[in-house]
Structure 1
Amino acid sequence: MGASTLKGKRFGAVKRLLEDSLYVKAIADLKSKGAIIVDIDEENIELPDFLRLLNLDMKADLPNYLTSYAGNDVTVKTVEDVINFNLKDSLNRMPYGQKLFYGIVADIATDDEFLIVKNTLKTNGRQYFNVPFAKYNLDAFLSINNYHAGFAAVAEYPALTVPMGYTVEGKPKGLTFIGKPLKEKQLLDWAYNYEQAFKRRKTPINYD
């Protein structure tokens, strides 16, 4: 990592996030290294049924994972098994309830319905990024923490977060670089260069 440079790279800064002083400082830092910052408006695009996609993925993926990788002593194999396991000691195993699990079990979408949900979200997510990337010839989209994680996930755009500072309350915040598909190496290089140049992370007090 680090072979690439920030100089001349075109990064999109979301206008709505420019009220965040840490974000503004991070942008100034990038500019000081020669990056070109383009202020952009977000596309008015929604992610319908995003939670449903997560539920349907979990319903299919959890059994597959447990069947393939869990040890022989693991008896739970499905979401229903997890629910029943939790109910045996609800105070310790489900102190916040398991409403999400019940929602997963209740959704009886067909494979075709699942595919429609997935494709719609992917199309919307891609459009959310493709429009500004093409319009402003961007190399990456700059976000904060996981603010745009949902869009990046469904669009299959790689995202990487590095420390950019701390709030007045001492809470850490990260600068998130979101790049084009199959541009993970460049994303790692840019984030690495930013992180090494400014070293915003502080070692926690009493950290061993």
Structure 2
Amino acid sequence: MTLDFDVVETTIDDIHAAYDADALTCRELVERYLARIDAYDADGPALNSIITVNPNATDRADELDAAFEEDGLVGPLHGIPFVVKDQVETADITTTFGSEAFADYQPAADATLITKLEDAGAVILAKTNLPDWATSWFGYSSVNGRTKNPYDLDRDPGGSSSGTGAAVAANLGAVGIGEDTGGSIRLPSAYNNLFGIRVTPGLLSRNGMSPLVVSQDTPGPMARTAKELAVVLDVAVGYDETDEYTAATELTDDAGSYTDQLDANALAGARIGVLRDAFGAADDPDSGPVTTLVDDAIETMQDAGATIVDSVEIPNLDEHLDATSLYILQSKRDLNAFFAARDDAPVDSVAELYDSGQYHDILDLFIGIAEDGPDDPEQEPGYWKSVAAQLKFQRDVLNVYAENDLDVLLCPDAQVIPPTAEAIEAGELDTLTFPTNTVLASQSGLCAVSVPAGLSPDGHPAGVELIGKPYDEATLLSLAYAFEQVADTREPPETAPPLDN
């Protein structure tokens, strides 16, 4: 192996080129990442993004190296080390869901997504931290404690895919897997200077993943480049008979060909509607830096040929967001069904978790679900009203596209820079009122991608969210890819520099 190969900011294409040139083996690559996890996650800045390192990672690498010697790359993800949110079940690695109650839980089978990644050649390197049961925008779990933002160790990396965001940003793995119910891929992508996509629910199987709101849940990739999102989706999107929602794959012809459709000139002629009502105040110290970065990104897109339709409005947006929130109404039922489907689950219900105190005490949403959520939402008239309101919300948003002839909508992922741990731990922030815009796409059934807007003068990341029509992931990926060609917004954090080879 050449000593010139460095894992910092390396891509799938770079890794495969090194394999083809006999400049790198999968074992060597895995060992490089494991060394970085030791140096920066367990030690040094102690990011605390990793819950469990896969004890079989080097054995898996050896298998792939042997297969490569025999037949070359086994698939499009050959030898690519993934860090995976510990919401996704892995049969050979403990899966905690961020919960101390599940600290020693060993699933009976891999999630469908894990099987697809491994069939394509991936190495599952480690499982990453998340707030218990994905119930927060902030990176605190009862099983692993606080995850730090690698760009500012005093601040939060965003949740609920907090560990994945921090780990991929700090180059502790090549690509990450998160999960997004209300924004849990896009918020940590924004706060860690990454690309991350929420697909239309149903394009990716959720079999083997803990739920939060089943109708909104979807896994998805988080990466340092837009192309890598497309490569992962080409492998992972598809029908799964164990998840009835994946019948939605019948509604798109794009699945499996996202990489081929990437267009470096996609911004030329694109019509982008800017949701100014979703921006924070320009003169506020928390929202001002975000607004400035997003405005700079809009200017870059316009310079690349996009038509910017500024200040489009979704009528009654705040009322729509309030009316369509299902967490308190639905999450207890969905989590209880997940526990009931597992004979070896250490607890039987949300009530048991709550009564035993086995959750992190800052998780106000989990507490709200446990205290106020109905066991059977279908007996609650308010539940059906909110379900119907989501359909009305989607119609109203689609009308905005139609009236303005738009390809996508645009806003900041979150209106503010990453919050401080001090503010979170003092109880100054509430999950259901935190100023993230990601819930717009989640509660209206749309897809969305987070694109790095760069760093503020103080070094805090922000993200641009592009919101697409249902099943139009190909357009989102192309626009993100085209932006990446003209905007140099991705840079690694200084807290995790290259290690000596």
Correspondence 1:29 to 2:300: yes
Q: Contact 2:413/2:464 (CA < 8 Å) preserved in 1?
A: yes
In structure 1, C-alpha distance between the alignment counterparts of 2:364 and 2:295, rounded to whole Å:
39
Amino acid at match of 2:392: T
In structure 1, C-alpha distance between the alignment counterparts of 2:452 and 2:390, rounded to whole Å:
29
Task: Provide Cα deviations, 1:48-95, integer angstroms capped at 9, x if missing partner.
Answer: 3444x1122211221223344x582x31121101102326xxxxx433
Correspondence 1:77 to 2:348: yes
Q: Which of 41, 48, 65 is equivalent to 2:312?
A: 41
In structure 1, C-alpha distance between the alignment counterparts of 2:300 and 2:368, rounded to whole Å:
46
> Structure 2 matches for 1:124-143, cutoff 5 A?
124-127=393-396, 129-143=397-411
How far did residue 104 of structure 1 move?
A: 4.1
Larger RCO (CA within 8 A; separation ≥ 6): 1
Correspondence 1:119 to 2:377: no
In structure 1, C-alpha distance between the alignment counterparts of 2:495 and 2:295, rounded to whole Å:
30
Amino acid at match of 1:95: D
**Structure 1 residues 195 and 97, CA gap change in structure 2 (3 angstroms):** closer
Q: Contact 2:330/2:377 (CA < 8 Å) preserved in 1?
A: no
Structure 1 partner of 2:179: none
Amino acid at match of 2:449: L
Structure 1 partner of 2:440: 151
Amino acid at match of 1:163: P
Q: Contact 1:6/1:190 (CA < 8 Å) preserved in 2?
A: yes
Q: Contact 1:13/1:37 (CA < 8 Å) preserved in 2?
A: yes
**Is the helix fraction higher in 1 or 2?**
1
**Structure 1 residues 206 and 48, CA gap change in structure 2 (3 angstroms):** closer
In structure 1, C-alpha distance between the alignment counterparts of 2:481 and 2:339, rounded to whole Å:
35
Task: Provide Cα deviations, 1:129-160, integer angstroms capped at 9, x if missing partner.
Answer: 22321111000001101443222111101011
Moved more, 109-118 or 58-67: 109-118
Percent of aligned pairs sharing the same letter: 24
Structure 2 partner of 1:96: 362
Moved more, 20-29 or 42-51: 42-51
Structure 1 partner of 2:92: none
Q: Contact 1:56/1:104 (CA < 8 Å) preserved in 2?
A: no
Q: Contact 1:79/1:101 (CA < 8 Å) preserved in 2?
A: no
Structure 2 partner of 1:182: 471
Q: Secondary structure at the match of 1:174?
A: strand
Moved more, 171-180 or 38-47: 38-47
In structure 2, C-alpha distance between the alignment counterparts of 1:97 and 1:161, rounded to whole Å:
25
**Structure 1 residues 49 and 81, CA gap change in structure 2 (3 angstroms):** farther
In structure 1, C-alpha distance between the alignment counterparts of 2:324 and 2:370, rounded to whole Å:
13
Q: Which of 258, 263, 280 is equivalent to 1:3?
A: 263
Amino acid at match of 1:12: G
Q: Which of 148, 157, 166 is equivalent to 2:455?
A: 166
Q: Secondary structure at the match of 1:65?
A: helix
**Structure 1 residues 159 and 193, CA gap change in structure 2 (3 angstroms):** same
Q: Secondary structure at the match of 2:310?
A: strand
In structure 2, C-alpha distance between the alignment counterparts of 1:3 and 1:34, rounded to whole Å:
13
In structure 2, C-alpha distance between the alignment counterparts of 1:98 and 1:148, rounded to whole Å:
19
Structure 2 partner of 1:14: 275
| Runs of 4+ in structure 1 over 6 Å off | none
Structure 1 partner of 2:372: 106
Task: Provide Cα deviations, 1:101-121, integer angstroms capped at 9, x if missing partner.
Answer: 344443436416222211113
Structure 2 partner of 1:66: 339
Q: Secondary structure at the match of 2:493?
A: coil
In structure 2, C-alpha distance between the alignment counterparts of 1:170 and 1:84, rounded to whole Å:
41
Q: Which of 77, 81, 86 is equivalent to 2:357?
A: 86
Amino acid at match of 1:6: L
**Structure 1 residues 189 and 95, CA gap change in structure 2 (3 angstroms):** same
Q: Secondary structure at the match of 2:322?
A: coil
**Structure 1 residues 67 and 199, CA gap change in structure 2 (3 angstroms):** farther
Q: Contact 2:270/2:306 (CA < 8 Å) preserved in 1?
A: yes
**Structure 1 residues 24 and 110, CA gap change in structure 2 (3 angstroms):** closer
In structure 2, C-alpha distance between the alignment counterparts of 1:174 and 1:99, rounded to whole Å:
24
How many residues get paired? 199
In structure 2, C-alpha distance between the alignment counterparts of 1:97 and 1:119, rounded to whole Å:
28
In structure 1, C-alpha distance between the alignment counterparts of 2:362 and 2:484, rounded to whole Å:
37
Task: Provide Cα deviations, 1:21-66, integer angstroms capped at 9, x if missing partner.
Answer: 2111101111121111111232331123444x11222112212233
Q: Secondary structure at the match of 1:188?
A: helix
